[in-house]
Amino acid sequence: MPEFREMAKVTLFGSGNKGGAEFTPAKDIPPLAGKVVLITGAAGDLGRQTAIELAKYGRPSRIYVADLPRGDAEKKAVVERITREAYVQDEDAATPKTEVRFLDLDLTSFESVRACAVEFVAKEERLDILFLNAGIIRVAKGTTKEGYEVHFGLNYLGHALLAKLLIPTLEKTATNTSKPRVVVVSSEGHAMAPKGGIQFDNLKSECASMDYSQRYGQSKLALIHLTRHLSTQHPSLTTAAVHPGRILTGMADALKKESLLVKLTAPIAPFFCVPVSVGIVNHLWAATSPAVLSGSYYEPVGVPGKESALARDAALGRRLAEFTAEQIGGVELVG
Ligand SMILES: NC(=O)c1ccc[n+]([C@@H]2O[C@H](COP(=O)([O-])OP(=O)(O)OC[C@H]3O[C@@H](n4cnc5c(N)ncnc54)[C@H](OP(=O)(O)O)[C@@H]3O)[C@@H](O)[C@H]2O)c1
């Protein structure tokens, strides 16, 4: 029962997000004028608040909210909410405000990921910060359009493909003095991955023998390996993985429906969860701090080295990189 033990530990005692790094968005987010940011899952709680704080304090030229396709009115509402909350008290009316744009992205479909990247590169010459933030934890057993287990396919493989397609734009944005960032939102839940870490032989299935925590853990473990892989393959970029802490977001609501342990501990959850404004500090720190070491996993803010042994397993990382290249190698920006 080692997975159950890990799950109970994460549920009851998981780390919050008060780390070693002192980081105050108002003080520490540098000016981002002229820069372009893309955040997946930015209609959701952590992505949206990340966009708000970056727009408020850094004022990049544009922030792209890449999230599930929806009606025009709903997209407009997402964009307007970020803009409204970023500039509710506009203390710096002289500096241009960030333009927020919505991009359709369904990470469960290679075609949608490709279309999202195509649309982005048609609009932008540069990309300074890419957040691979979207994620699911709850869902019933299922597969993505290409037949991968849905947590692995969405949280990991869809993001690996998006990163691959946007790397040329990130690399051409790099200068001698400025490295574009890729912030990979993993989780302390990566420790709940099944024995061996990633069940390669089962990935093109629902992984029916695994519970949701193992399916989630496997996908989040893969994201830590992706972070290291991108860092070694693309030294002109700074790539970091983060655990955001434990936050009562849309994801937590979903989790309650699936996990008895989480349901039972719900009344005391506010005592060991942090608010969204604290939960996004690791995102913001990893995206902007000069102290970030490329290829590292941080849990909580600014604290490296808390990843599981499987997350450090170089042989597993190599096998995942080979597997990933086989699966997404054929998908290119120019079809
Ligand atoms: N909250 C926590 O305590 C916690 C802890 C550790 C790690 N994390 C990580 O933090 C990240 C953000 O989560 P959150 O807490 O902000 O949850 P959230 O509020 O549920 O946000 C997740 C976002 O991902 C979007 N999404 C879902 N399926 C998608 C798909 N197929 N394609 C593109 N986007 C999709 C969701 O869209 P819809 O809402 O329309 O479905 C939502 O906007 C996740 O990667 C999560 O694993 C969170």
pLDDT digits (tens, 9 = 90+) for 110-140: 999 999 999 999 999 999 999 999 999 878 8
Residue 191 lies in a domain: yes
Cα-based angle 54, 20, 42 (whole degrees, multiple of 5): 25
DSSP SS3 for 280: coil
The CA 92 to ligand 1 mean position distance, Å, reads 31
Query: What is the pLDDT at residue 86?
Result: 96
**9-37: b (≥16 Cβ within 10 Å) or e:** ebbeebbebebebebebeeebeebeebbb
Each residue's pLDDT tens digit, 15-57: 455 565 689 999 999 999 999 999 999 999 999 999 999 999 9
Atom of ligand 1 nearest to the CA of 108: 31
How far is the first Cα of the chain from the last one, in angstroms, to the nearest whole number? 46
* Positive or negative: CA dihedral 292, 182, 35, 103: negative
Please check whether residue 54 lies inside any domain of the structure: yes
297 is catalytic: no
Q: What is the mean pLDDT of residues 319-335?
A: 94
In a domain, 335, yes or no: no
Residues 6+ apart with CB under 8 A from 26: 57
Domain holding 256, by residue range, is 2-328
Q: Residue 334 falls within a domain, yes or no?
A: no
Mean pLDDT of 283-287: 97
Cα–Cα distance, 137 to 189 (Å, whole number): 10
Residue 333 in domain: no
Look at the chain and report how many structural domains it folds into: 1
CA of 269 to the centre of ligand 1 (A): 19
> What's the mean pLDDT in 138-162?
95
User: What percent of the chain is predicted at pLDDT more than 90?
Assistant: 77
Residue 48 CA: which ligand 1 atom is closest?
A: 16
Taking phi first (over 0 means left), then psi (-120 to 50 degrees means alpha), and beta for anything else, what does residue 102 get? beta
What span, in angstroms and rounded, lies between the C-alpha atoms of 167 and 152? 21
pLDDT at 277 over 60: yes
The CATH number that applies at residue 298 is 3.40.50.720
Please indicate, yes or no, if residue 101 is contained in any of the structural domains: yes
- Note whether residue 165 is domain-resident: yes
Candidate list 57, 64, 148, 216, residue with the active-site label: 216
40/262: higher pLDDT: 40
The answer to whether residue 36 is domain-embedded is yes
Q: Are 137 and 186 within 8 A, CB to CB?
A: no
pLDDT confidence of residue 17: 55
What span, in angstroms and rounded, lies between the C-alpha atoms of 218 and 194? 7
Average pLDDT across the chain, whole number: 92
Half-sphere exposure of 201 (CA within 13 A, CB side): 2
